[in-house]
Amino acid sequence: MSEEFNWLDYAEPDEEAPAPSARPGLRRFLPRRPTLPSLPGRPRLPSLPSIPSLPRLPRLRRRAQPALDKPSAADLLSVHEERPLDELDDRLQSLRERAVASSQPEAEARQALYDVDELLAAPEILRKPGGVISAAALSKAQRQQVELLKDIVGAPQAGDASVSRIRLSPPLFSLSAIPRIIGTAVLLLMASLPFVSSDFAEGELPPSEFHEDRHGPTTLYNLLDNLTPADYVLVAFEYGPTAAGELDAIAELFLRHIVAQRAVPLIVSSNPIAIAHAQNIISRVNRSVAFSGESLRHGRDYFILRYLPGGPLGLRELSENFADVARVSYKGTLTGLQFDSLDDVTYVVMIAERAEDMRNWAEQVAPQLDRTPLLAASGYAAAPLAQVYADSMDEIVGLVVGYRDAYTYAEMLEANFAELLRDASELGSGSAEASPAKIDEQPRNEAAQAERPLATAVPPASAIPPPAVAPLPTTTPRPPNTETPTETALPTATATQQMISVVEVTSPRQVRIRRGPTTADDILQLAQAGDMFQIIATNGDGSWYNIALSNGLDGWIAGILVEEKALSMAEFLGGGGEASARLSDERVYLRREWSLSLGKNRPRYYQSNAPITGDIPEYVLMRDRSAEVPRLRAMTLGTLTTVVTIALGNVIFALSALRRRQRNGERK
């Protein structure tokens, strides 16, 4: 170091390179001594060479050490540290005493050399408890001189509070803040417009099935759909309330999907707040999913395991000692779960808020999984990175990204349950015409299910699994169904001007929509006053209407409960954009009942858009649509505004930078 010696730098180890044999670190073996280099005749430290008793380190390292540790913190610390006075050796003690004494100028001297001695007096070393080099301060007399000088120069007084701290911050309100305020206002306004009026209907809604190019999400959906009762699914809530607005939707859907099949989710997280937040999600699901009048219970229908501290370290523990992690719940109680390893759970589902979480799971958990696939979902922010990992690791399946994918997932789930609905009703108690052919298919279906690969990705085209919801181990036979709900071609007109006939439910009570035009037919769905459905056909005497339902199916409704109307397509669609039905309250519930038929308990599903209360034992809220559409529109409009803002702002700044550059060029 070529710098001038100064008080604060005096201990640079480079100044005082120790003998090559002494590693700087070794200095700390010695009794603490001040190492003021400016003191002449500093005694050599005799104990230095006598260290060879240390464990022998590689020769390379011993030799490299002195140079590499140059401004070693250990060294700096050993010097800069305050030490009690009594640790100083005697010689320094006396030196210090002399210094303290000399800083109190004697009266005679002052008289002899007027003023000069005051200026020359050594700096006073302040007596501070415990420390010797705390501060070098000016003596009182010196301070007076300084004040005098300051007076002459016109510098501010020390005690002047107004100038004691120079404020370099710009004033909080300046003209430069105006563009910012305008930008903020515009962005907020545009993002709120869709909530005020539905006139700002920009863009298409997300598709009702994942795009065929995206194998990941489809596979993920199918895997979750393949669960059987008492399967355990590890669900990692790797997001806190920060991302609640984005990921709650998908987390709720996953939980519903799992719970509806009586599989058991085990919730873990390496984020402490997420554990608490997971309880909120569960209670939200609870408000809508009820089993036999009971709500989901911790320890039976779901588990929240203890928090995994230390981020990746916790995940490492999870993957290596899953048996222990699964033993303790978040409340510190025993769960009674017994696992050998993470491979004992059917799937690991991870919902990540940040790219970091995805990386941690990919690094710490995925390599430890042998059979169990890791199903991943993430927010938009994590998606680019998560995609990199999902593409390059075989263990990671699928990536459901953000709110739009959550919408699609909800659509698929709903359609799937609607299909269950149809199948259940075909096989249910009312349908005595269940043909022998269908029953014959039962063994084949079961066989197909038995050889269903658990860990490998199920191809998207595979048959939709049987309704694994039955509390009994037997699976309900179901005809193979290749038809997807989207294929149900509806006679909905594409031209919005065309007049269509609809029925509006007028009955104040809940109305049943059935499979056929008789009260003996199965119930498909429940509707309530204000709901509107498009008419497909009527029966012979016009007492029943065949109507199109929102999930792509069609059903029958009794004429006395509804009123027929003619509306233009535009008017009909005005509400929420449903193509075939307009529901007054956009919530879809799926109600499940168990009925004994042919000696077996079979589930029967009804759909409703109003919460079912009272005597009906079970129902499942599949989704809460009340805010879905405006939110999606707000995102579209907000993105558009953001694009404009960013483009405009950058054009302005680029132009001004160009002008500045030009001006600089001219000056040169």
Residues numbered 103 to 132 that lie near other proteins (CB under 8 A) are: 131
Least distance from other proteins to the Cβ atom of residue 527, Å:
24
Q: What are φ and ψ of residue 184, in 5° steps?
A: -60, -45
Nearer to other proteins, 280 or 501 (CB): 280
Q: Are the C-beta atoms of residues 604 and 428 closer than 8 Å to each other? A: yes
Least distance from other proteins to the Cβ atom of residue 389, Å:
8
Three-class secondary structure of residue 331 per DSSP = coil
Taking the C-alpha atoms of residue 53 and residue 549, their distance in angstroms, rounded to an integer, is 87
Q: What is the DSSP letter of 133?
A: S
Q: Are the C-beta atoms of residues 208 and 415 closer than 8 Å to each other? A: yes
Least distance from other proteins to the Cβ atom of residue 330, Å:
5
Q: What DSSP letter does each residue of 520-574 carry, written as one string?
A: TSPEEEEE-TT-EEEEEEE-TTSSEEEEE-TTS-EEEEEGGGEEEEEEEHHHHHT
Least distance from other proteins to the Cβ atom of residue 299, Å:
13
Q: Are the C-beta atoms of residues 457 and 373 closer than 8 Å to each other? A: yes
From candidates 192, 456, 595, 601, binder to other proteins by CB under 8 A: 192
Which residues 8-67 are close enough to bind other proteins by CB under 8 A?
8, 14, 25-29, 51, 54-55, 58, 60-61, 63-65, 67
Least distance from other proteins to the Cβ atom of residue 44, Å:
19
Which residues 367-386 are close enough to bind other proteins by CB under 8 A?
367, 379-385
| Burial (0-12, 13-18, 19+ Cβ within 10 Å), 460 | middle
Which residues 197-256 are close enough to bind other proteins by CB under 8 A?
202-206, 240-246
Taking the C-alpha atoms of residue 134 and residue 119, their distance in angstroms, rounded to an integer, is 22
397, β-bridge pairs: 375
Taking the C-alpha atoms of residue 415 and residue 440, their distance in angstroms, rounded to an integer, is 26
From candidates 136, 439, 520, 646, binder to other proteins by CB under 8 A: 646
User: Stretches 92-100, 113-121, 352-360, 430-438: which one binds other proteins (CB under 8 A)?
Assistant: 352-360
Which residues 137-166 are close enough to bind other proteins by CB under 8 A?
164-166
Taking the C-alpha atoms of residue 311 and residue 326, their distance in angstroms, rounded to an integer, is 17
Structure tokens at 228: 């059987």
Nearer to other proteins, 40 or 58 (CB): 58
Q: Are the C-beta atoms of residues 570 and 596 closer than 8 Å to each other? A: no
Which residues 561-580 are close enough to bind other proteins by CB under 8 A?
none
Taking the C-alpha atoms of residue 374 and residue 324, their distance in angstroms, rounded to an integer, is 20
Least distance from other proteins to the Cβ atom of residue 178, Å:
11
Please report, for residues 39, 240, 414, 564, 610, the alpha-carbon distance to residue 36 in angstroms, rounded to integers and kept in the order given. 6, 53, 79, 100, 83
Site size for other proteins, by CB under 8 A? 143
Single-letter code of the amino acid located at 610: A
Which residues 577-616 are close enough to bind other proteins by CB under 8 A?
none
Site membership for other proteins, residue 272 (CB under 8 A)? yes
From candidates 216, 217, 265, 314, binder to other proteins by CB under 8 A: 314
Which residues 168-187 are close enough to bind other proteins by CB under 8 A?
168-170, 172-173, 177, 180-181, 183-184, 187
Which residues 418-447 are close enough to bind other proteins by CB under 8 A?
none
Least distance from other proteins to the Cβ atom of residue 139, Å:
20
User: Stretches 320-328, 493-501, 521-529, 587-595: which one binds other proteins (CB under 8 A)?
Assistant: 320-328
Nearer to other proteins, 1 or 116 (CB): 1
User: Stretches 363-371, 484-492, 507-515, 539-547: which one binds other proteins (CB under 8 A)?
Assistant: 363-371
Q: Where are the alpha helices (DSSP H) in 287-354?
A: 312-320, 322-325
Least distance from other proteins to the Cβ atom of residue 576, Å:
14
Give strand ranges (E) for 259-311.
Answer: 264-268, 303-304
From candidates 117, 118, 317, 593, binder to other proteins by CB under 8 A: 317
Least distance from other proteins to the Cβ atom of residue 195, Å:
4
Structure tokens at 180: 């910012």
Q: Are the C-beta atoms of residues 12 and 2 closer than 8 Å to each other? A: no
Nearer to other proteins, 14 or 564 (CB): 14
